[in-house]
């Protein structure tokens, strides 16, 4: 009897027209054909659709920890890692600098993809010399492709905005909301109702946008007309909290569900589509040094990858890109326990330390939201209680603010951070499907724009 992985492999070979499957960069013969040339041809072919997935703020350790958590709690590797094992994926390291320097923000990073040029941090698609190049979304629409933007941040946040609009500051989210309408973005899903005034929402409705405000409305949505879905005042709740709150789970869609809704809407487009899918709250968890929130939002992003790959099984003319815009926070699981005098293995306590995250009952954000306006000491006590761990009185006496709380958590879990800021790491970039051969083993973030255009045959 075939294993699930072998069945999945045969299904992929069937739709891709290959007689074998590529593991990493090499094609492995299977089912009696010579797959290497076919795999190369698949990568080099022109794509009708592009799905661009961004786990905002994800360094390589975040990807590693989510995979380790998946293997521990679900007895299987993450979908991203299984993608590398099962399909002909092109992998790259990507440099993430902005015109400002070595460390980018999300606006400059997304704009590098949006216009193919490096600009100053905080700006959306306006160059240092004041030019306003045509964005990737505009070019796709000029080629009669439809465009969708999906995120767990506000729909008007820096990453989705960087593909579509031209604004002097990422802080002007109401202006971004208005410009989405002006430019005719077909599908917009995320949080951020506070940036869409009643008059702007009415303007969206007048030109034919359907408007969804909760999960039920989104999942019931049929057809391929323009769609606006806003599911929270600001950000979509962290996945850990959303899953554990029945009210949130019923009202707020997951990233995978928003992705599926966008694909259902965009897929009928005769000329194809471009879809941006952002796991925006991975970055927020990293800024807050909250490993629990980060891992679960990374895995929610992983479920969106699963949704996208299921779509490519039915639509093999789709180029998929999976990456991040920059690292944030420098998360890392460190070895716990030194070698003792009796010869115990070094770092023998690491697995147990990592496992302690299973005791946590809420993210830091949700815990503090419940105690908004309460005394600082009450908030700290709630944070400590949310870990489900037993600390020594002397350790608790040292918890005087968020940083000392996080240091205590790091001692018990082995997970620590370098800062609350963005980092200058090289980041993971991978591409799968027609046009993926455009991407070399090393590239700069501002080189991606032109390669996507070449992969789709869209004029630059």
∠ at Cα 28 (451, 317), nearest 5°? Answer: 35
CB 91 within 8 A of CB 436: no
Please, which pLDDT band fits residue 12 given cuts at 50, 70 and 90? very low
**Which of 29-33, 171-175, 292-296 has the weakest average pLDDT?**
29-33
The average pLDDT across 225-249 equals: 97
Asked whether residue 9 carries a pLDDT value surpassing 80, the answer given is no
Tens digits of residue pLDDT in 201-210:
999 999 999 9
Q: Work out the average pLDDT over 224-250.
A: 96
Over pLDDT 90: what percentage of the chain? 86
Whole-model pTM: value is 0.90
Tell me which of 17-31, 252-266, 289-303, 318-332 is least confident. 17-31
Asked if 429 and 114 touch (Cβ cutoff 8 Å), the reply is: no
pLDDT at residue 293 in the model:
98
CATH number of 48-330+426-456: 3.40.720.10
Listed in sequence order, the residues at least 6 apart from 419 whose beta carbon sits closer than 8 Å to its beta carbon are 329, 330
Q: What is the DSSP string of 5-41?
A: HHHHHHHHHHHHT-SEEEETTEEEE-TTS-HHHHHHH
Residue 44 is predicted with a pLDDT of 72
pLDDT tens profile 165-223: 999 999 999 999 999 999 999 999 999 999 999 999 999 999 999 999 999 999 999 88
- Averaged over 122-131, what is the pLDDT? 98
pLDDT tops 80 at residue 29: no
- Other residues' Cβ atoms within 10 Å of the Cβ of residue 392: 9
Domain range annotation of the chain:
4-41, 48-330+426-456, 347-414
| pLDDT at residue 22 greater than cutoff 80 | no
Least confident among 120-124, 189-193, 391-395, 446-450 = 391-395
Q: String of b and e for 343-380 (b: at least 16 CB within 10 Å)?
A: eeeeeeebeebbebbeebebbbbbbbeeeeeeeeeebb
- Portion of the chain with pLDDT greater than 70, in percent: 90
With 60 as the cut, is the pLDDT of residue 33 above it? no
Q: Model confidence at 1, in pLDDT bands (50, 70, 90)? A: very low
pLDDT at residue 36, as a whole number? 56
Q: How far apart are CA 149 and CA 17, in angstroms?
A: 31
Mean pLDDT across the chain: 91
Place 224 in a pLDDT band, splitting at 50, 70 and 90. confident
* pLDDT category of residue 341 using cuts at 50, 70 and 90: low
Report, as an integer, the average pLDDT of 392-415. Answer: 94
Instruction: Give every CB contact of residue 86 below 8 A, 6+ residues apart in sequence.
Output: 5, 8, 9, 12, 21, 23
């Amino acid at each position: 009897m075939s294993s699930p992985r072998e069945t999945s492999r045969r299904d992929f070979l069937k739709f891709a027209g290959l007689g074998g499957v590529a593991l990493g960069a090499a094609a492995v013969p299977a089912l009696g054909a010579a797959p290497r040339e076919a795999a190369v041809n698949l990568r080099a072919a022109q794509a009708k659709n592009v799905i661009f997935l961004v786990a905002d703020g994800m360094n390589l350790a975040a990807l590693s920890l989510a995979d380790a958590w998946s293997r521990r709690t679900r007895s299987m590797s993450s979908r991203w890692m299984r993608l590398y094992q099962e399909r002909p994926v092109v992998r790259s390291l990507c440099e993430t600098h902005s015109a400002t320097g070595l460390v980018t923000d999300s606006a400059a990073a997304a704009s590098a993809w949006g216009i193919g040029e490096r600009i100053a941090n905080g700006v959306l698609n306006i160059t240092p010399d004041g030019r306003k190049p045509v964005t990737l979304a505009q070019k796709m629409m000029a080629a009669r492709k439809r465009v969708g933007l999906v995120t767990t941040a506000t729909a008007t946040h820096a990453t989705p905005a960087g593909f579509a609009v031209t604004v002097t500051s990422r802080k002007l989210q109401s202006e971004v909301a208005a410009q989405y309408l002006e430019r005719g973005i077909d599908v917009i899903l995320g949080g951020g109702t506070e940036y869409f005034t009643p008059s702007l929402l009415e303007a969206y409705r007048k030109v034919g946008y359907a408007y969804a405000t909760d999960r039920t409305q989104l999942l019931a949505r049929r057809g391929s007309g323009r769609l606006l879905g806003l599911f929270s005042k600001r950000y979509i709740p962290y996945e850990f909290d959303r899953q554990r709150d029945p009210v949130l789970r019923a009202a707020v869609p997951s990233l995978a569900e928003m992705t599926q809704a966008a694909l259902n809407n965009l897929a009928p487009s005769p000329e194809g589509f471009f879809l941006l899918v952002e796991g925006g709250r991975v970055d927020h968890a990293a800024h807050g040094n909250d490993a629990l929130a980060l891992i679960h939002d990374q895995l929610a992003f992983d479920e969106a990858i699963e949704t996208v790959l299921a779509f490519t099984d039915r639509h093999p003319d789709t180029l998929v890109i999976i990456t991040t815009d920059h690292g944030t926070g420098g998360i890392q699981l460190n070895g716990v326990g030194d070698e003792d005098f009796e010869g115990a293995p070094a770092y023998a306590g690491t697995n147990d330390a990592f496992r302690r995250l299973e005791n946590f009952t809420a993210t830091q954000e949700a815990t503090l939201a419940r105690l908004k306006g309460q005394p600082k000491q009450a908030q700290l006590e709630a944070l400590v209680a949310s870990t489900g761990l037993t600390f020594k009185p002397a350790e608790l006496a040292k918890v005087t603010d968020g940083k000392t709380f996080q240091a205590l958590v790091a001692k018990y879990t082995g997970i620590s951070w370098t800062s609350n800021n963005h980092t200058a790491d090289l980041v993971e970039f991978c591409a799968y499907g027609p046009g993926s051969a455009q991407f070399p083993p090393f590239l700069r973030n501002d080189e991606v724009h032109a390669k996507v255009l070449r992969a789709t045959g869209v004029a630059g």
